[in-house]
Every structure is written in structure tokens, then in C-alpha cells.
Structure 1
């Protein structure tokens, strides 16, 4: 990720504006909240300095490590700068 990365995230819980520190903290939080986390990519499109990705997250909880379940579906567009993720816009839907 670019040092000046930002992500505008339209989640099921509202709009979040995240910077590099927020994204790193979110990653650490996910690591501590789930036994395992797996992303499954459904689609990737690229045009010049833009990338779009559609993917789903699957998790296993500490309470039930034998059952993997879908957590959420994401659609994210990124502007690439210096070969790194720079400006992102993301929409997600929790699937509970």
C-alpha cells in the first residue's frame, strides 16, 4: 500500500474513511477476531491506473473452527500510484 493510501468504505454500518494506520489496525483486528480468514476473488478488471476487484471473505470462528462461513461480499476500485494501492472506494454487504 502507498504511504498516503486512503479508502472510502461504504459498509453495511455506514461510511468509513480509512488511512494507512486505520487499514493496518483493521487487519490486525480481523486477525484477532477470527480463527481464519480467506478471500475468494470473483472478478478483477484493470484499466490504466485503475483496478476493480469483486471478492468475498470467508471466516472460521474460534468457537467453531470446523465450519467456514461467508462473512461479507466486497466491490472495490483502486487507483494505483507507484505500483501501490493509493485511493480506494469500497462497498460491502455483510452476510449473516
Structure 2
């Protein structure tokens, strides 16, 4: 699987709300930097798993709509919208935000991520 295929597969999966699936995609030494409206956050493997567990408490479905993806070797840039279905309203998609992320792949896993996001 190419680095681009790995990233596309990751966003098509339920990894963002299922920590068992997430574990299949992330490198044990992952670091993830995220700039958002709340400030800056830095995540490691444990932080990502815990964050995924928290998301799974409120959302029953996660859907990513990729608008742009650019690959250069093991570095992939993705622009996407993230939609979810909440436990309270499982029939309606709710837009969480707009995201731009650069992923570095190592050992066929997500190894280093740099993300910025904006609320709708």
C-alpha cells in the first residue's frame, strides 16, 4: 500500500471514533501537532487513543470528505471536512470542521502529523 492509499484508507475507516481501528494506523512513536481555535495541542500515541475514546462517547458515525490530497513520497497533505452523527441525532450529519493536515508515514503507519482546523 502506498502512503497515499494508507491515508485515504485511514480517513475512510472509523478510526477517528474507534480506538481499536486507530491502533491499526498509528505508529507507536507518533507525534501529532494540532493548531485549532482553542490553541495548540501536541499528541502522542496515548493521547490520540484517549482522544479517540472521548469522541466515540458522543458520535455514532464519522465521515470525512476529502477535497484535496497531494502525495510526495512518504509525505501526504490532505484537506477535508469532518462530519459526524451524534448519539442524540443519529440521522443527521453535523459538520465538525474543516481540516488541513500533513502526514509523514513510517513503517506503513501514520508517524508525524501537522494539522490546522477551523470550526464551521
Match of 1:12 among 22, 37, 41: 37
The answer for the alignment partner of 2:62 in structure 1 is: 37
- Cα deviation, residue 63, structure 1: 2.2
Match of 1:75 among 86, 100, 104: 100
The answer for the alignment partner of 1:92 in structure 2 is: 117
Cα RMSD of the aligned pairs, angstroms, is: 1.2
- Cα deviation, residue 60, structure 1: 1.8
SS in structure 2 of the partner of residue 3 of structure 1: strand
SS in structure 1 of the partner of residue 66 of structure 2: strand
Return the TM-score normalized by structure 1. 0.90
Specify which structure has the higher proportion of strand. Answer: 1
Return the TM-score normalized by structure 2. 0.73
Specify which structure has the higher proportion of helix. Answer: 2
Extract structure 1 runs of 4+ deviating beyond 4 A: none
SS in structure 2 of the partner of residue 55 of structure 1: strand
- Does 2:27 correspond to 1:2? yes
- Cα deviation, residue 67, structure 1: 1.7
Distance in 1, matches of 2:55 and 2:39, equals 19
Give the paired residue count: 95
